[in-house]
Amino acid sequence: MITSAWLFLFAIVSEQLQASDTLNVGKAERFTRIGDAVKAAFPGAVIRVLPGFYQESNIIIDKKLHLLGVGFPVIDGNQKDEIFTVVADSVRISGFHLQNCGISFVKDLAGIRVDQGAHCVIENNRLFNTFFGIYLKNARDCVIRDNYVEGLAKDEFSSGNAIHIWYSKNITVEGNTCLQHRDGIYLEFVEFSTIRNNTSEKNLRYGLHFMFSNNDDYRWNVFRNNGAGVAVMFSKNIIMEDNLFEKNWGSNSYGLLLKDITDGEIVRNRFHRNTIGIYGDGANRLRMAHNEFMQNGWALKILGSCYDNQVTANNFLDNTFDVITNATVNNNHYHGNFWSDYTGYDLDRDGVGDVPYKPVKLFSYVTSRVPQAIIILRSPFVDLVNFAEKVMPSLTPQTLEDAAPLMKIIALP
């Protein structure tokens, strides 16, 4: 009773505040164009855009404003320029349907651009065919939440990223859906930021892409059917937890691509049916634990440039190949994983196989040299080749083995 009374009171107060400082935009309102309302508004005002079709672009927001779309008003950029450009702090943009920005090869045109802003919130918008979707540059403490960004990317050269963040700090990207762009979410020189609960699908290049970005984390995201699920390049201290990497298929496709990165955590992720689950090139001091690798072409492709990675307590289930490497010496640590291809025994019944498991098969070498050979993959002749290699190793690194392979699948949360 008391609560509802309070709520009622609060509603009245906020209504009055709005009334005092709210500008309506609509066909029958004082403003028929959003740009005019933005120019006329005082800092701190709310601009309510009523349902309708607005053909506007290059709306520059240079003061603290709350742009609120009511019933998803459509703003059409008419294939030229960008729609919202934010050059102030504490701007909030929500509830809009933005479409058709221009495509430029010299300027990264975007549906919503934040340039030098702080404490901005971009929330609950729908963007279609906006070249770049949401673009942050030199921003900090911003939130990009619950947006739906869909593009029409056909090739990498003439397409932009759904969410693009450059030189920014403390950004939260959550609950967004990014489809059919070059990259779903792109981060370059971005620090202390969090990417979570997003879905990134059907992007030409990467679902999520880190470049020169340190101390970030991404959790509970889904990366499906992208060129590669996630690429982490030239970055440090990235935490990667509880994500799903699925069906990232193709000749250069990976669930997770690691290129020159150090000190990260890859924990409790699921890699399902990717051409390569994790591809590591120059990846060092990473911990990979409690992940599930299921039905990937190659669960792990770890090149010789990778050092001191810990691969422990993961489930490797029905992958065509578990591990492949071009190294002749093993510099990483594989221990206590479950491998569904393991055929050893456990005489002392301690749950750990008595013979080590060698996850690198000779035939996977053969296919990396002669890719066509994949056609005889399940031939008994291939078993023969693999068996011979097991008995007398010549090409595979002898020390690359799991000395404590588990007999039972690990129950993952």
Partner 1 sequence: MLKVLKYSFYDLSRSRWTYAYLLFFLLLTFGLLNFSHDLSKTIISLMNVVLILTPLIGTLFGALYYYNSKEFIDLLLALPLPRRSIFLGKYLGLSLSLSASFVIGILAPMLLFGILSTGLVLNLVILMSTGVLLTFIFTAIAFLVSIRFEHPIRGFGAAIFIWLFLAVIYDGILLLILIWFEHYPLDHFALLMTLFNPVDLSRVLIMLQLDISALMGYTGAVFRKFLGTSLGMSIAYATLLTWIIVPVFAFLWLARRKDF
Binding residues (CB under 8 A) for partner 1: these are 247, 249-251, 253, 273-276, 295-298, 318-321, 340, 366, 369-382, 384-385
**Phi, psi for residue 17 in degrees, rounded to 5:** -60, -45
* Dist. CA 324–CA 365, nearest whole Å: 7
Q: What is the 3-state secondary structure (H, E, C) of 120-163?
A: CEEECCEEECCCEEEEEECCECCEEECCEEECCCCCCCCCCCCE
Q: Under the phi-then-psi rule, with left for phi > 0, alpha for psi from -120 to 50, and beta for the rest, what region is 368? A: alpha
Shortest Cβ 400–partner 1 spacing (Å): 20
In the complex with partner 1, which residue's Cβ is closer, 73 or 277?
277
What are the residues whose beta carbons fall under 8 Å from the beta carbon of 59, sequence distance 6 or more? Answer: 34, 35, 38, 83, 84, 85
Shortest Cβ 357–partner 1 spacing (Å): 18
Residue 239 and residue 262 in contact, taking contact as beta carbons nearer than 8 Å: no
Shortest Cβ 411–partner 1 spacing (Å): 15
In the complex with partner 1, which residue's Cβ is closer, 204 or 239?
204
DSSP category for residue 375: G
First CA to last CA distance, the chain: 41
In the complex with partner 1, which residue's Cβ is closer, 203 or 274?
274
Residue 103 and residue 111 in contact, taking contact as beta carbons nearer than 8 Å: no
Shortest Cβ 260–partner 1 spacing (Å): 22
Shortest Cβ 384–partner 1 spacing (Å): 7
Shortest Cβ 222–partner 1 spacing (Å): 17
In the complex with partner 1, which residue's Cβ is closer, 352 or 366?
366
> Residue 26 in 3-state DSSP?
coil
* Dist. CA 20–CA 23, nearest whole Å: 9
In the complex with partner 1, which residue's Cβ is closer, 13 or 377?
377
Shortest Cβ 180–partner 1 spacing (Å): 19
Shortest Cβ 375–partner 1 spacing (Å): 5
SS3 content of the chain, % helix, strand, coil (to 5): 15, 40, 45
In the complex with partner 1, which residue's Cβ is closer, 71 or 371?
371
In the complex with partner 1, which residue's Cβ is closer, 152 or 303?
303
Residue 85 and residue 57 in contact, taking contact as beta carbons nearer than 8 Å: no
In the complex with partner 1, which residue's Cβ is closer, 171 or 228?
228
* Strands 199-201 and 110-115, sheet pairing: unpaired
